Amino acid sequence: MTLDAEAKMQFLFALRSRGVMDKRVLEAMEKIDRGAFVKGLFAERAYEDMPLPIACGQTISQPSIVGLMTQALQVDPRHKVLEIGTGSGYQAAILSQLARRVYTMDRHKRLVTEAQAVFDALDLANITAIASDGTRGLPEQAPFDRILITAAAEDPPGPLLAELKVGGIMVVPVGQSDAVQALIKVTRTETGFDYDELRQVRFVPLVEGMGAD
Ligand code: SAH
């Protein structure tokens, strides 16, 4: 077995052993090469189950957390999904395999430009990356079947809750930055919102306004 094939097998084993069981999610994570989203020195560590630094002082999330969040989102092929926090673009690429359409937003233009270049290179034509403050939502494409926030909010932002369809699901890490955060699954019902706490996580903070680059 080549080193690459072995690294990939270990990658998938780590996902399963940490609770990523959904067949479609595992298939998407087998297909999308995380190495394409990690640049420079860290590229060779792309198949380890670790968060890694990317540009603008941000991080690409740990693969098992990407898997667990994606699994919790219960995406189906008819869904229109919004992600806040494009970062490297890896999470959006996984979502693109499961959904009809993916919109992903980041407050750093540079991350959006770099992620879009990877989407183009991999022919992931159902993703649109937008440089904008995601806390304000994306009114021109709302409502969404699913919303995934990959930065920690103090509370789920109101404009995003308002853009969730009835029956829709939002997954969001909630808590003060750097402290322990709880990953929350919010389901919109006819009359309000149901909240489910999934596990503890640690994400970079959701910050209002645009980044400097
Ligand atoms: N999902 C990414 C990792 C996200 S890291 C991946 O797969 O690589 C969190 C990202 O959220 C950072 O890139 C940060 O710039 C972005 N972010 C923080 N606050 C934001 C906001 N208000 N609007 C949009 N993006 C935001």
* Nearest alpha carbon to residue 160 among 180, 178, 142: 142
Residue 154 to residue 147: CA distance in whole angstroms: 16
Residue 2: its pLDDT value, please? 67
Q: What does the pLDDT look like over 93-147, one tens digit per residue?
A: 999 999 999 999 999 999 999 999 999 999 999 999 999 999 999 999 999 999 9
Low-confidence ranges of the chain (pLDDT < 70): 1-3, 177
Nearest CA to ligand 1 atom 25: 106
- Listing DSSP states for 33-65 in one string gives -GGGG--GGGGGGTTSSS-EE-GGG-EEPPHHH
Residue 40: its pLDDT value, please? 83
Q: Which ligand 1 atom sits closest to the C-alpha of 135?
A: 22
Strands 181-188 and 164-174: antiparallel
Determine the residue of 104, 207, 208, 210 to mutate for testing ligand 1's pocket, defined as the one with the most ligand atoms within 8 A of the Cβ atom.
207
Beta bridge partners of 127: 102
111 Cα–ligand 1 center, Å: 9
136 Cα–ligand 1 center, Å: 14
26 Cα–ligand 1 center, Å: 23
Q: Is 61 a catalytic residue?
A: yes
The torsion region of residue 170 among left (phi > 0), alpha (psi -120 to 50) and beta comes to beta
Answer for the pair 36, 94: CB distance below 8 angstroms, yes or no.
Answer: no
Residue 213 to residue 58: CA distance in whole angstroms: 12
Give the fold, CATH level 3, of 5-201: Rossmann fold (3.40.50)
Strands 59-60 and 144-149: unpaired
Backbone angles phi, psi at 88, to 5 degrees: -75, -20
Answer for the pair 92, 127: CB distance below 8 angstroms, yes or no.
Answer: yes
Nearest CA to ligand 1 atom 19: 206
Structure token digits, residue 32: 């999308």
Residue 213: its pLDDT value, please? 83
- What is the CB-side half-sphere exposure of residue 182 using CA atoms within 13 A? 10
Residue 206: its pLDDT value, please? 94
Residue 196: its pLDDT value, please? 97
Is the link from the previous residue into 143 a cis peptide, with omega within 30 of 0? yes
114 Cα–ligand 1 center, Å: 13
Residue 159: its pLDDT value, please? 97
Residue of 17, 61, 132, 177 marked catalytic = 61
